[in-house]
Chain A
Amino acid sequence: WPVLISVICSPPQNYPLYIRSIPTENELKFHYTVHTSLDVVDEKISAMGKALVDQRELYLGLLYPTEDYKVYGYVTNSKVKFVMVVDSSNTALRDNEIRSMFRKLHNSYTDIMCNPFYNPGDRIHSRAFDSMVNSMMMQVC
C-alpha cells in the first residue's frame, strides 16, 4: 500500500523538510497532494486560532479524502506540519493509529530539534529519523 510521510516547515517558507514515500516513483504526484493539503491545514489552524492555542489538539484529523488516498494532518505549536497520505482502502488504519503515528513523528522531530548541529529550517538528514519513518512505513504497508 502506498504511503507518504512528510514534515513541512513552518510558514512562510512552507517547504518540505522531509518527505518519504512508497513507492518512490511518481513522487511528484504525492508532492501535489501534500502541497494542496496545506490549504486545509491553514484553514484548520486559522479556524482554531480563536480557541485557546495551548489547549488545542495538535492532531488535525483527516484533511481530505481523495479517490485513492486519505490525507491526515498534524501541526505542532511552532506550526511545523506533519502530513501523512495513506491508501483509502487501508481500513486497518483507524484514527487512533494515525494519531499515535503522528505522536511518534513529533517526538522524533523534537529529538532532531534538540541536536545543536541542526539548524531549524534545514532539510532533515537523520539516520534515527529515517529508521523511525521506515519502521512506521513497514507497519502501515
Chain B
Amino acid sequence: KMSVPDYMQCAEDHQTLLVVVQPIGIVPEESFFRIYKRISAVSQVSVRDSQRVLYIRYRHHYPPENNEWGDFQTHRKVVGLITITDCSSAKDWPQTFEKFHLQKEMYGSTLYDSRLFVFGLQGEIAEQPRTDVAFYPSYDECESVEKRIEDFIESLFIVLESKRLDRATDKSGDKIPLLCVPFEKKDFVGLDTDSRHYKKRCQGRMRKHVGDLCLQAGMLQDSLVHYHMAVELLRSVNDFLWLGAALEGLCSASVIYHYPGGTGGKVGSRRAQGGSLSAEAGNRHRPGRDRILIFFLPSAHFLSCFVLGALTSNGINADTSAEIGRAKNCLSPEDIIDKYKEAISYYGKYKNAGVIELEACVKAVRVLAIQKRSMEASEFLQNAVYINLRQLSEEEKIQRYSILSELYERIGFHRKSAFFKRIAAMQCAAPSIPEPGWRACYKLLLETLPGYSLSLDPKDFSKGTHRGWAAVQMRLLHELVYASRRMGNPALCVRHLSFLLQTMLDFLSDQEKKDVTQSLESYTAKCPGTMEFITLPDGLKLPPVPFTKLPIVRSVKLLNLPTSLRPHKMKSLLGQNVSTKSPFIYSPIIAHSRGEERSKKIDFQWVQGDVCEVQLMVYNPMPFELRVENMGLLTTGVEFESLPAALSLPAESGLYPVTLVGVPQTTGQITVNGYHTSVFGVFSDCLLDNLPGVKTNGCTVEVIPALPRLQISTSLPRSAHTLQPSSGDEISTNVSVQLYNGETQQLIIKLENIGTEPLEKLEVTAKTVNTKEKLYGDFLSWKLEDTLSQFPLKPGKIATFTVNIKVKLDFSCQENLLQDLSDDGISVSGLPLSSPFRQVVKPRVETKPINPQESSKVGDFSHVKTLEAILNFKYSGGPGHVEGYYRNLSLGLHVEVEPSVFFTRVSTLPATSTRQCHLLLDVFNSTEHELTISARNNEDLILHAGECQR
C-alpha cells in the first residue's frame, strides 16, 4: 500500500523520469543541496539525434514503498540514482563504494542506471576513468557536474527506449506478464492464466504501461494511441484500477499537449529555467577535459546506437502507426476533466489506492485551475478532502492542509484557502506535537491574512466602513497574538493585540474589551508597545499601531495665548506688511487657496518661551475608565517642548475637553500634526492626517520671538468685579477700592518682570469706562518718568508705579434721598426737589443733628456709585521688541464711591426778606473720617466722623 502522497504532482509529471539524488556517508547538508540544486537544474534534456525531449524529476527523498507502484505508473518508478559522497582518503574508498552499492539495492529492481559523485578524493583512484563514478576534488571544483548529468540522462534514455521497444513489440504474444500493484499480488495467486479474460487483462495493462513509457520517452502521440487501446481492453474486463490509470494516462498526455506551459505553476518556471541552464551549462562545459569521458561511454551507449538505428530503419512500431488521426486521440479540454472524474471514481473503489486517487484529484484541480473552471475544481478538492488515507502523522496533516490551501488559492477561493492554511497552522502547534512549531504556525497564519481581507496596517481600517468578516478576523488576530506569545516575541504579541484592539473595537463586546486590554496590559508590563516598525525574519514589516480610538479625538483646537500675553504688532509695521502682500483689498483668487484647511494658518501668534495650549475634545469608547498617560503634542517646524499630561476618562464618557500644553523654543512656523499617548502601556503617535472626522481650526501658527512678561500686583485688594471692556481686550487683573467722594488715594502698582527677557519699554494709558457720571477733575494721574528710570527691567526685578486716584462725583438727585426728604413731611412748596437749583455738589453749610434711626437707613450702600477704569500697560523688550511686537496688560480699576455727606433734613426758615428764605440742611457725615465741607460764601465746616450738624 502506497502511503505517502506527493501533493505537488501535476499531470506533466507523468512524462518525467524519476531520479533520486541522495548523499551517502557524511555529507554536509549545505554542500549536498548545492550540488542537488545544480543537478536538478538539468531537468530537461534534448536527446541527441532526435526531436524528443526528456524530462527529469529529481527527489532527494523517495519512499521505497512508493517505488513499488512503478509498474502502475512508470513516473513513480525510480529509474536513476545519483549518490553524492564525501571521501577524503583512498583508504575509505572501498567502503564508500560498498555503500553506493547498498544504496542501489534499495531501488535496485527499478533502476536503469546510477552514478556516484565523489568529492574530496584525489590521486590514483580518482584518475581511473569510470562511467558510474565521477571524482571531484571539492564541492567548488566540479564544473562538469551538469555535463555528467546530461550524459547520465542520455544513458537513462537508452535504457528507456530499449524497454519501450521491447514491451511494445511483444504484443499479443503468449507470454505477456501481468503487471500489478503491490496489493494485488496476493489476489492473483492461483488464477487461471490461460483464460481470455486474464490475457486481455495482461494485454491491457501492458498497453497502458507502454503508453507510460512512450510518454516518458517523449512520444506523446504514440502514448495517446496506446492509452486508448488500453482503455478499451481494460474496460472490457472491468479492471477498474488499471482502467483508471489508463484514463489518467490519457488525461496526462492530453494535458501535456494542450498546456505546454505546464499546470504546476512553479514547475513551469522551473522547467524553463532548467532548460536555459542546461543549455548554458552545455555550452560552457562541452569543450575541455570532460571530453575524455565520452571515449569511455557506458556499454548502454552501444546499445543506444543499435536502438536508434532500429528506430530510424523500422520507423515507429506498427501498432502506433498513423492509422488513427492524431488530433482525434488527444482529449479535448472538457474531455480531460470527464476522464479525470471517471478515473477518480474507479480509483475510489480501491481503498489501497487512496494516494493515487488523491494525487489524481490534485492533478485534475491544477488542470481546472488553468482552465479557470473553479467550481468544478472545488468539487474535486472537496472530494480530495474526504479521501481517507490512514492515520496521518502531524507533519503529513500540515502538508495536506497546506496543499489544499494552495490549490484553493490557485482556483481563486481565497477564503477557503485561508481556512485550510489556518488549519495547517493550528496543526503545527497541535497539542499532540511534542515540540509545537509556533514559528511555522505563525508564518502560516500570516499567510492567511489576505483570505480574511485583513492587512496588518491599521491605516487600511481607518477610513470608511469595516471590510471583511469581523468574527473570523478577530479569531485570526487572537491566534496571531497567541502564536507570537508562544514564539517568545512579546513585541510582536503586543503589536498584534494593539491592532486587534484598534481595528476591531467596534466589534468587541464589553467583556472582550476588558479581556483584551487586560492581557495587553500584562504584556506591555514586560514589553511596552512602541511606534517602531517590527521587521519579521522573512522581511515583512509590521507597521506601528497608534491607538487613535483610545481615546477618540473629535476636535483639535489651537488656543490663543491669554489676553495679557498676546503679542501685538506695532501699528506702523503692520500697515506695511499688509500693503506689500497684495495691491487689492479683496481678491476672489484668495478663495481658491482655502482648500488645505488643515494647513491653514491661524491669525494669532504664539510666543517663543511661553506656554501654548491646544484643546482636544476626546471621548472614551471603553466601558471602563481609561487612563491616558503621557499625552502630548506632536509638532513640526519649531523646536517645541511638549509638556505631557495624564488624564483619566470615565467609562463611555461624552466629549471631554483636554488641554495639551507645550513651550515653543524657537521661532517660525509651527504645525501641530498630532499627539502622542501612552495607553495600556502602548505608546502611540496619532497623526491628524490619519484621523478621520477630526475638526480643527487650522494647525499652523506662527511663533514670534520671545517677549518679556509683566506681572502686576497692587496695593489694593483684588476685585470680584470683572470689567467688560468695549474694545474686546480682557482685563488680566481687577482691583477695587472704596472711596468717599472727594477722597484721594494712592495706588501703588508693582511691576514685576516674570519672564526671561528684559523689559525695555512701557507705555501706560488709562481709559474710564461705563461712566455716565459726571467726573470732576483728573480721576487718575501718574508720573511715568519715575518708573521708567528703573528700566530696563531685568527678569525677576520689580519696579513700582504710582497712580493717584481722586474721585469727585455728583451725588445729587438720588431717588432714595428724595424719598427720605418726602418722608420728612415738610412741605417745600415752590421748590421742587428735583429742580436743578438743588443739584449742588457741595451743599450749603447748615447742619442739624439727625436721629439715629434715620442714620441707619441712610447708611445703606444704595447710594454707592462706581467708577471703572482700565489702566493699559503696553510693554515690550527682548527679541520680540526688535521684531516690533509688544504686549498689553490691562489693570481693571473698580472704584466704589460713597457720598461723604448726606442731607438728612431740608427745611426752610423765613428770612428777613419775603423774597428769600434760609434753606436749612441737616448734613450727615457718613464717613469715619473728619471732613471739611466748603460752600460758596461760607466758611468751611469741619465734620467729624458720624457727626451730624446743621
Contacts and interface: CB of A to CB of B under 8 A. Distances in A.
Interface of A: 12-16, 28, 31-32, 35-36, 38-40, 42-44, 47, 64-65, 67, 121
11 contacts: A12-B467, A13-B465, A14-B468, A14-B469, A16-B469, A28-B472, A32-B419, A35-B415, A38-B415, A40-B413, A43-B412
Contact of A13 (B382, B408, B466, B471): B466
Given A28-B475, A35-B415, A40 B378 contact: yes
A15 B468 contact: yes
B466 A31 contact: no
Contact of B467 (A13, A31, A36): A13
A125 to B, nearest CB: 15
B382, B415, B452, most chain A CB atoms within 10 A: B415
A35 B382 contact: no
Contacts of A43: 374-375, 378, 412-413
Contacts of B746: none
Given A13-B468, A35-B419, A64-B378, 15 more contacts: A12-B453, A15-B467, A28-B471, A28-B472, A32-B472, A35-B415, A36-B415, A36-B419, A38-B415, A39-B408, A39-B413, A39-B415, A43-B412, A64-B382, A67-B386
Interface residues of B, number: 23
Contacts of A67: 386
Contacts of B468: 13-15
A51 to B, nearest CB: 15
Interface string B439-478: 0000000000000110000000000011111111001000
B415 A16 contact: no
A43 to B, nearest CB: 5
Interface string B461-502: 000011111111001000000000000000000000000000
A118 B470 CA distance: 21
Contact of A16 (B374, B419, B471): B471
Interface in B376-425: 378, 382, 386, 408, 412-416, 419
Nearest to A30: B471
Contacts of B413: 36, 39-40, 43
The 9 A-B residue pairs with the shortest CB-CB distance, nearest first, are: A39-B413, A31-B471, A36-B416, A36-B415, A43-B374, A39-B415, A36-B419, A39-B416, A35-B469
Contacts of B386: 67
B893 to A, nearest CB: 59
Contact of B465 (A36, A42, A121): A121
B470 A39 contact: no
Interface in B295-348: none
Contacts of A31: 469, 471-472
A121 B465 CA distance: 8
Nearest to B453: A14
A12 B463 CA distance: 13
A40 B466 CA distance: 22
Interface in B352-380: 374-375, 378
Given A40-B413, A64-B378, A64-B382, A35 B472 contact: yes
A28 B452 CA distance: 14
Nearest to B420: A36
Interface of B: 374-375, 378, 382, 386, 408, 412-416, 419, 452-453, 465-472, 475
B412 A39 contact: yes
B424 to A, nearest CB: 14
A40 B419 CA distance: 14
Contacts of B465: 13, 121
Nearest to A67: B386
Contacts of A44: 375
A16 B473 CA distance: 12
Given A31-B472, A67-B386, A14 B467 contact: yes
Nearest to B423: A32
Nearest to B377: A43
A67 B382 CA distance: 10
Nearest to B473: A15
Contacts of A65: 382
A46 B453 CA distance: 19
Nearest to B452: A35
A120 to B, nearest CB: 10
A67 B388 CA distance: 13
A31 B468 CA distance: 12
Nearest to B408: A39
A28 B419 CA distance: 13
Contacts of B470: 15
Contacts of B472: 28, 31-32, 35
A13 B453 CA distance: 9
A117 B322 CA distance: 75
Nearest to A66: B382
A141 to B, nearest CB: 23
A61 B491 CA distance: 47
A25 to B, nearest CB: 14
A47 B375 contact: yes
Given A35-B469, A35-B472, A67-B386, A40 B375 contact: yes
Contacts of A42: 412
A12, A14, A35, A43, most chain B CB atoms within 10 A: A35
B381 to A, nearest CB: 10
A55 B378 CA distance: 26
Contacts of B378: 39-40, 43, 64
Nearest to B379: A64
A12 B413 CA distance: 16
Contacts of B475: 28
Nearest to A34: B469
A64 B382 CA distance: 9
B661 to A, nearest CB: 40
A15 B416 contact: no
Contacts of B469: 14-16, 31, 35
A56 B408 CA distance: 27
Nearest to B386: A67
A15 B461 CA distance: 14
Nearest to A37: B415
Contacts of B412: 39, 42-43
B375 A39 contact: no
A65 B385 CA distance: 12
Nearest to A33: B419
B467 A39 contact: no
A16 B471 CA distance: 9
Contacts of A121: 465
A12, A15, A16, most chain B CB atoms within 10 A: A15
A13, A36, A42, A121, most chain B CB atoms within 10 A: A36
B642 to A, nearest CB: 38
A8 to B, nearest CB: 8
B333 to A, nearest CB: 17
Nearest to A19: B471
A34 B465 CA distance: 21
Contacts of A12: 453, 467
A39 B414 contact: yes
B924 to A, nearest CB: 75
B421 to A, nearest CB: 12
A35 B420 CA distance: 13
A90 to B, nearest CB: 20
A31 B452 CA distance: 12
A40 B416 CA distance: 9
B388 to A, nearest CB: 12
A64 B475 CA distance: 24
A39 B411 CA distance: 10
Contacts of B471: 16, 28, 31
A32 B475 CA distance: 10
Contacts of B382: 64-65
Contacts of B453: 12, 14
A122 to B, nearest CB: 9
Nearest to A43: B374
B77 to A, nearest CB: 36
A115 B33 CA distance: 67
A42 B468 CA distance: 14
